[in-house]
Amino acid sequence: MHCGTTQEVTQEVTQEVTQEVTQEVTQEVTQEVTQEVTQEFFRMFLSVDPLGTVPKRNGGEYAYGF
Protein backbone atom coordinates (compact mmCIF):
# COMPACT_ATOMS: atom_id res chain seq x y z
CA MET A 1 0.00 0.00 0.00
CA HIS A 2 1.29 3.46 -0.84
CA CYS A 3 0.96 6.69 1.09
CA GLY A 4 -1.77 8.75 -0.46
CA THR A 5 -4.81 10.72 0.37
CA THR A 6 -7.48 9.10 2.49
CA GLN A 7 -9.64 8.94 -0.63
CA GLU A 8 -7.01 7.03 -2.59
CA VAL A 9 -6.40 4.58 0.22
CA THR A 10 -10.12 4.08 0.81
CA GLN A 11 -10.65 3.49 -2.90
CA GLU A 12 -7.84 0.93 -3.03
CA VAL A 13 -9.09 -0.96 0.01
CA THR A 14 -12.68 -0.87 -1.22
CA GLN A 15 -11.60 -2.23 -4.59
CA GLU A 16 -9.58 -5.05 -3.04
CA VAL A 17 -12.34 -6.06 -0.64
CA THR A 18 -15.00 -5.86 -3.36
CA GLN A 19 -12.88 -8.04 -5.62
CA GLU A 20 -12.29 -10.64 -2.92
CA VAL A 21 -15.93 -10.80 -1.89
CA THR A 22 -17.11 -10.96 -5.49
CA GLN A 23 -14.70 -13.81 -6.18
CA GLU A 24 -15.79 -15.74 -3.10
CA VAL A 25 -19.49 -15.30 -3.78
CA THR A 26 -19.06 -16.23 -7.43
CA GLN A 27 -17.18 -19.38 -6.45
CA GLU A 28 -19.79 -20.39 -3.87
CA VAL A 29 -22.71 -19.77 -6.20
CA THR A 30 -21.02 -21.63 -9.04
CA GLN A 31 -20.35 -24.59 -6.77
CA GLU A 32 -23.91 -24.66 -5.44
CA VAL A 33 -25.49 -24.37 -8.87
CA THR A 34 -23.23 -27.05 -10.31
CA GLN A 35 -24.11 -29.38 -7.45
CA GLU A 36 -27.84 -28.72 -7.79
CA VAL A 37 -27.85 -29.18 -11.55
CA THR A 38 -25.85 -32.40 -11.25
CA GLN A 39 -28.18 -33.79 -8.58
CA GLU A 40 -31.26 -32.75 -10.54
CA PHE A 41 -29.91 -34.34 -13.69
CA PHE A 42 -29.17 -37.64 -11.96
CA ARG A 43 -32.57 -37.63 -10.25
CA MET A 44 -34.30 -37.07 -13.58
CA PHE A 45 -32.01 -39.50 -15.35
CA LEU A 46 -32.55 -42.29 -12.83
CA SER A 47 -36.30 -41.81 -12.54
CA VAL A 48 -36.73 -41.85 -16.31
CA ASP A 49 -34.15 -44.51 -16.94
CA PRO A 50 -33.85 -47.19 -14.24
CA LEU A 51 -32.63 -49.88 -16.65
CA GLY A 52 -30.07 -47.84 -18.56
CA THR A 53 -32.20 -47.58 -21.67
CA VAL A 54 -32.06 -43.90 -22.48
CA PRO A 55 -34.87 -42.90 -24.82
CA LYS A 56 -33.40 -41.76 -28.11
CA ARG A 57 -34.59 -39.62 -30.97
CA ASN A 58 -33.26 -38.33 -34.28
CA GLY A 59 -31.64 -41.66 -34.95
CA GLY A 60 -29.46 -41.89 -31.88
CA GLU A 61 -29.28 -38.52 -30.17
CA TYR A 62 -30.08 -38.63 -26.48
CA ALA A 63 -33.47 -37.23 -25.56
CA TYR A 64 -31.83 -34.99 -22.98
CA GLY A 65 -29.74 -33.26 -25.61
CA PHE A 66 -26.39 -34.41 -24.26
Encode the chain (66 residues) as per-residue pLDDT tens digits: 556 799 999 999 999 999 999 999 999 999 999 999 988 888 877 776 556 566 555 555 555 544
Residues 43-60 as b/e (b if ≥16 CB within 10 A, e otherwise) read eeeeeeeeeeeeeeeeee
pTM above 0.95, yes or no: no
Q: Is 56 left (phi over 0), alpha (psi -120 to 50) or beta?
A: beta
Backbone angles phi, psi at 31, to 5 degrees: -60, -45
For 56, phi then psi, to 5°, come to -115, 160
